[in-house]
Each structure stands twice: as C-alpha cells, then as structure tokens.
Structure 1
Amino acid sequence: MPVPELPAKGGRGTTRRRERRVSKRWTVSAVLLDMDGTLLDTEKVYFDSLVAALNGCGYNDDVVSLCRSMVGLPGPVCEAMLLDRYGSAFPLAEVNRAFILNRDRMFEATLPLKSGTIELLDGLAATNCPMAIVTSSSRRTAERHLALAGIRDRFDTLLTLDDVTHGKPDPELYLTAAARLGVIPQACVAVEDSNHGVAAAHAAGAITLMVPDMAQPTAETRTRCAAVLPDLNAVLALLRERGVFARQSS
C-alpha cells in the first residue's frame, strides 16, 4: 500500500527510516501513466491557450485562477465549470474555437516531452513491464498528441475519456485500464501530475506517484501518494529501488 512522502532532509534517524522504507519491495504488475503534464509538456499550453481565448472573448476577471482549477479535468467538466460561472449565455463554441486555434498554433513546431519521459519508457520496455496511457483527453487528441511527440508506438493500451462514462477524478479510467491489462488495481503503479489525477488513481487502489506540473499537491493529495517526486527520472529510480524491474525481468 502507499506510504507517505519521504522527507527530503533530516538527521541520521531520518536516513535510517528512509532506507528501511525504500528497501520494502512493491508487488507491481503494471505501470499506468497519465499523459498531459506527466509524459507530455502540454498543460501550460492548454492553460495559456484557454486564458488567451477567454481574454479574447472579453472575459478578463480572475480567469487565471479558474483555468488553474481545471488542470487535470476532462474537457466536458471544464465546459460545465465555465457555464456555471458565466451563465447559459456564455459563448462556449466561440471560446472553444479560439482555444483550439491557440493550442494548435503553439503545437505547430513541436510537442515537447517532460524531462525523463524517454528514460522511464525505455526502462519499462527493457523489462517487459506492462504499461498503459490513462488520460482524460479524448482518443482523437491522445492519438494525435502521442504521435506528434513521437511516442505513440510505445503503447499497446490507451485509455481515454471515450472509453469510460466518468473521467478523473472518478477512478473509472484506472479501474478500466487495470482490467484491460488483466491485473488488479492494487498491483499497479500510477503516475500523475495533478491533484484530480491523484484522486482518481488513489480511489482505484493504485500505488500513486505524483510529479507535480502546473499545481503543487494539496495536503490531502500528499496523503494519497506513495511519493511526490521532482521528475520522471526520480520515478524510474524509485521503481528500481522498490524492486519493480527486478521482478519483471526475472
């Protein structure tokens, strides 16, 4: 089961406690990976694109805070939040068109990966560890963005908002991903970047790791995580420390 995040600093007693915890092996059958903000450096593009779209349509109140609260949520939920805030007369179609135009313009040159993405995927592939993408994006968007980033062929299993009734923070995506891979959720490591994503993975019963992107973890989120880590290279190192790869390759 998940353990609390380990302190970054401390005395000799803290070091001994950390060593004891790190030596504890995890029983892991698969690794489930969020896409936006976790593998792909897209969340800031989405955020900036939506803020610009709202400003361009005449909405200049505290849209930055509103857009920040949407990080990690499915598109339909974000749209409902906009309608709830601005009322039924809100020009949703116009804002969506402006958002897509802004987003696609920013992605024209390249779609960057988060630091450590390739190293983590290489490590998982080298030991034949089953893995899946678990994203709140639509299948069309996920297919396009993974292809643009050059990593679509890394995944045989891709779970998107189109595969479930409820997106994150509901656990349905993670439960469905585990079922597709033929494993129990409690034997999965989930890697997320947002508070909403962590809530979904934890509710499914997965060993949940967070690599924060646009938003830092709340106090409640920290209690749901086995660890909060600085980047995907740290995720790879922790999986190795916990013996995940050793069992997969044996």
Structure 2
Amino acid sequence: MVVSESLFYAVAVAALVLGNTLAVSSASENSKVKIWPMPASVSYGNAHLYLATDFGLSSNYKSQILEDGFDRMLAVIKLDHVIDANFSAFNHSSLLQGLHIVVSSPNEQLQYGTDESYKLMVPSPEKPGYAHLEAKTVYGALHGLQTFSQLCYFSITRRVLEVHMSPWTIIDQPRFPYRGLLIDTSRHYLPMTVIKKVIDSMSYAKLNVLHWHIVDTQSFPLEIPSYPKLWDGAYSPSERYSAADAAEVLCPKKRNKCISRN
C-alpha cells in the first residue's frame, strides 16, 4: 500500500511538472502571435513579406461594404506614414501585390447568427504574390481584413509595410455570436465624434453589437419630434442628440444599409 501511494504521488508530480512545462511552452508560442482576439487556429513561419506600393484588392464579389473595409484596413496599417522604399532592392518573390478575397454568399443582411467565419492565408499557396482571404459572408471577410491589418508593421528604417512570420494560415470564427459594447450617454454625455470613434474601434476587437443607452432618469438628451419638450431633460442644451444624430449612428450616410439594432 505504501509503494502504491508513493507511485501515485510520483506520477502526480510528474504529470504536474509536465503539464506546467507544456503550458509555459504553449504560452511562449502564443506570445509570438500579436493578434487580438486570438484566432481559433493559427500557423506561421519565419519569413518576411513586404507590401507593394500598389497593394490592392481583388475579389469575386462586388461590394461597397468590402471596398470600404479594405480602404479602412489600408489606412490603419499605413498610419499616414510615407512609403518610399527602394523596391528594386527587394526579392520579387517577397512582395505582396494585393489581397484576393472570395465571398460565398451575396447576402449582406447583418443579423444574429450571421456566419462571420473566415480563412486567411499569407501568402496564397496558389498565387504567392497575393494574400488570400475567403469567407462565407462579407462580415467574415471584414474580420479577416482586421486580422490581416494586425499582421502588418511599418518599418521606419526600410520605409515599407512588412508582414513578419509568414507564411500564415489563420482560420477563425467568433466564439460568441453576440459580442456587444455598452455606452451610457444618459449618465455620461458623449459627443457624436466620440460615439463614431467608439463604433470604429469596435471593429478592432471584432465586436458586432453596440448597445446605446441614450436616456434614463438622470437625463433625456434625445430629441423625440412627437414629444418636443422631453429633451429639455438633458444636462444642457449643448448635450443633446437630434433625431438626425441618432439616424446617423444607425444608418451612416456612407453606407447603403443600416447597422444591426439587436
């Protein structure tokens, strides 16, 4: 019995040590991946790629939502830096000419349960001069664009956009279908410019629902045309939202469709 207990504790200690070692190793590997949130599946290498000056979008799917998302992605990774590298000094095989996006479904209605999965390969196995992104819907493609932006870095010394640790293969989908953020302007007034920046920043973490708590007993800053005196309950005349302001948050003028109001 004593021998059995000793063996049990020895095995338990060994398992604990091995488990901790594997956990540390896994944590060390994950620390190299600077993607947020961490994708469901990631593999990477140790090569460097560089984005060509005319890095562009190609797709089987014509969509203003997708084109706008690509433009936003480029703005995020460039950060107004001047890209003037001597590209003639680069190996042509290390240059990415663009990103090819394949979207399966033409349905652009965003609602609870919309498929937001995607697969990103940098570079594409079939066309090494391009990155490849495929998704069931345009919203999965937008998440893929966000992930691609996190793979890119601007090199101050080379003055070029780089992709480290390629080749990348990333397969991902949201762990939760409802990923919301709450802002409470009934208690803490936020200017419209701040609210719009909050919405833009939600895409960085792949959130999909904004809960705008506009009014409460503390203040009533929203204009209700049928009850014009209600917004007299705002903190001040300058801390109000017109009906047009609210419509601009729900249905931005630059988009063809309203955002989800779940």
Greater share of helix residues, 1 or 2?
1
Q: TM-score, normalised by structure 1?
A: 0.22
- Higher-Rg member (1/2): 2
- By relative contact order (CA 8 Å, sep 6+), the higher-ranking structure is 1
